[in-house]
Each structure stands twice: as structure tokens, then as C-alpha cells.
């Protein structure tokens, strides 16, 4: 029997190929309309896997040089590679409870001004120091107005609704993709306010569809902190199950950095959410929201919220920069 060309496949591609083959065997409408509740890893014959591999190789670009980027076939394929990279991310070393997670971002957005009209906020820097165990105050330096705030930690049981979430709380979330997906789907009804918090030009009456709210919530968890490897991978694999998520081969963040991305358009609001990943490391660089039609006095194509992460690190005390 011929050997399978495993050495030529990117990390995690074999598992994805198996799932893709089983999806093709099923009725295509069933696969889209009713996502699997559990991750199925069927046993396939070597011939079947080889067939899928051969088909995949015909559409994948050649590996090329160092700047060729990832081999993109679908959002699920990209997110699986991102999940695998997150799963093996241990660059922060041993993280102690008495330390702080430092996140340095640049952001811009539209908000509603005093006269009711949308106003653009210029790109500005925002730094935060969040207690690892969630027991100490969060320090926030806001470059927009030069303010420095010290916020008390979120009450027990309400961490998910806070602006800043502790590493220990994130570590308490499910590490299994199915359980994580269920957790995210069950949580959003109380999180519709985040449409207003993350994109101020939207009002409380502007509600995302359920899947967009899940994506918005997941983006908050991933963008504003350091997520433990197991939970980070589970979040990306849960996002891969959301219908309507597609690939952008050239995505750009708020700092102008080019990468590869995923995107999804809300079915209720004219808002398209986009995530940008580094093409080599798969690190999440930024997130943006764009209008898909004229809305609230703004033109179609207007970027109404844009965030880029400059740096994440673990430091010993609030206010300390790495």
C-alpha cells in the first residue's frame, strides 16, 4: 500500500481532511443547516484519505518561500491551524497568580455624538494590566484622554460580563471544543450590550444574530487578554462551527499589518466582523467591524470599529511594561 504524504500536509490537516470527506459523503444541505453537536473523528481507509489529500493538493498553493503564507482551503482549515498554534503556545512561561497580564492595543471606532450624529474617534493607544487570579484591581491607561483608571475586579460569577477578564477565569472555561461551543451559545443572550460597548455607534436596540454574538464574545475573550493554550484552541475550534464564517486571504488590521483572516456578516445588522491573523505565527493581530450598507448616517464600507494588538505579556506588577 502506498504511503500517505503526511510530511507534505500542514499541521492538523489530516484531521480536517477526514472531517471534510465525511461532510461530502453526507447530504450537503444537512451539513450546513444542522451542524454536528459532537466532533466526529471517523476511521477512514488509507485509500479514502489519500483521495481527499490528492484533491486538496490540486487546490492548495505550493509552499514556496518564507513569505508564501499558510495553505488556505476554508475557514475551518485556517481555524484548525490557528487552534494548533494556540495549543502549543507556551512562550509566556509559568504564570503566577500574583502577576498581571499586560495587553497593549491600538483602536479606533465611531460613536454617537451629543447631536446624535456618528463621530470618528482617531486611532489611540490603550494599555491594561489585569490580575492573573482576578483578585487585584485592573489598571487601565487610556491614550485617548490620558486617563489612568484602577478598576475593582469583577464579582464572582460575573467575570464574563466584565471589560477585562482574568487569566484564571479563562482557565476555568471548557477545554473541549464541543463544551466550549455550548458555553458560548448559552451565554450571549445577556451579552447583547457588548454590541454597544465594542461598537458604540450601535445602540442597545441593535441586536446581533445569535451566531454573530458568539463570534463577538469570542473575539473579546481572545483579543483582550492572554488565553491559556487549551482554552484558546477550544475557542478557535468552536468558531469553526459557526455558519457563515469565510476566509479572507489578505486581511489588514488597524496598524496596517497584512495577514490572513476570517469574516462573517450578521444576518440582522449590516455589520461584517473580521479577524486578522499573522500568516506565519497565526497570532490574532486585530479585529474590525465594517458596514455592509448605509446605516445610521454612515456609508457602506465604513470601518466602525478597528482594534490591533501591539503586545501581550505577563509582568510582575500593574503599571510595569515588558
pLDDT, residue 5, reads 40
- Give me Rg for the CA atoms of the chain: 20
C-alpha pair distances (Å), 17 with each of 55, 71, 203: 10, 13, 42
pLDDT, residue 33, reads 36
116-121: long-range pairs with CB below 8 Å, 24+: 117/297, 118/201, 118/296, 118/297, 118/298, 118/304
pLDDT, residue 182, reads 94
Low-confidence ranges of the chain (pLDDT < 50): 1-68
Q: By the 8 A CB rule, do 182 and 210 touch?
A: no
- pTM score: 0.77
Amino acid at each position: 500500500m502506498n504511503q500517505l504524504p503526511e510530511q507534505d500536509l500542514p499541521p492538523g490537516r489530516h484531521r480536517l481532511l477526514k472531517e471534510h470527506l465525511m461532510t461530502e459523503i453526507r447530504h450537503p444541505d444537512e451539513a450546513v443547516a444542522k451542524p454536528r453537536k459532537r466532533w466526529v473523528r471517523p476511521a477512514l481507509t488509507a485509500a479514502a484519505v489519500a483521495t481527499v489529500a490528492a484533491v486538496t493538493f490540486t487546490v492548495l498553493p505550493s509552499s514556496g518561500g518564507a513569505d508564501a503564507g499558510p495553505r488556505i482551503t476554508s475557514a475551518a482549515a485556517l481555524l484548525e491551524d490557528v487552534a494548533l498554534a494556540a495549543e502549543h503556545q507556551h512562550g509566556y512561561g509559568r504564570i503566577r497568580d500574583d502577576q498581571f497580564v499586560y495587553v497593549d492595543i491600538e483602536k479606533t471606532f465611531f460613536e454617537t455624538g451629543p447631536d446624535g450624529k456618528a463621530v470618528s474617534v482617531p486611532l489611540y493607544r490603550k494599555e491594561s494590566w489585569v490580575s492573573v487570579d482576578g483578585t487585584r484591581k485592573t489598571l487601565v491607561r487610556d491614550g485617548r484622554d490620558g486617563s489612568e483608571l484602577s478598576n475593582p475586579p469583577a464579582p464572582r460569577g460575573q467575570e464574563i460580563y466584565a471589560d477585562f477578564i482574568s487569566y484564571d477565569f479563562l482557565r476555568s472555561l471548557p477545554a473541549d471544543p464541543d463544551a466550549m461551543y455550548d458555553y458560548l451559545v448559552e451565554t450571549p443572550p445577556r451579552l447583547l450590550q457588548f454590541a454597544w460597548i465594542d461598537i458604540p455607534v450601535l445602540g442597545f436596540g441593535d441586536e446581533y444574530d445569535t451566531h454573530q454574538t458568539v463570534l463577538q464574545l469570542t473575539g473579546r475573550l481572545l483579543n483582550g487578554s492572554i488565553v491559556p493554550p487549551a482554552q484558546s484552541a477550544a475557542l478557535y475550534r468552536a468558531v469553526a462551527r459557526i455558519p457563515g464564517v469565510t476566509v479572507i486571504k489578505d486581511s489588514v488590521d488597524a496598524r496596517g499589518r497584512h495577514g490572513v483572516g476570517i469574516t462573517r456578516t450578521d444576518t440582522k445588522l449590516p455589520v461584517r466582523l473580521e479577524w486578522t491573523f499573522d500568516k506565519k505565527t497565526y497570532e490574532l493581530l486585530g479585529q474590525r467591524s465594517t458596514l455592509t450598507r448605509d446605516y445610521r448616517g454612515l456609508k457602506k464600507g465604513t470601518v466602525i470599529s478597528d482594534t490591533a494588538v501591539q503586545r501581550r505579556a505577563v509582568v510582575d506588577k500593574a503599571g510595569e511594561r515588558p
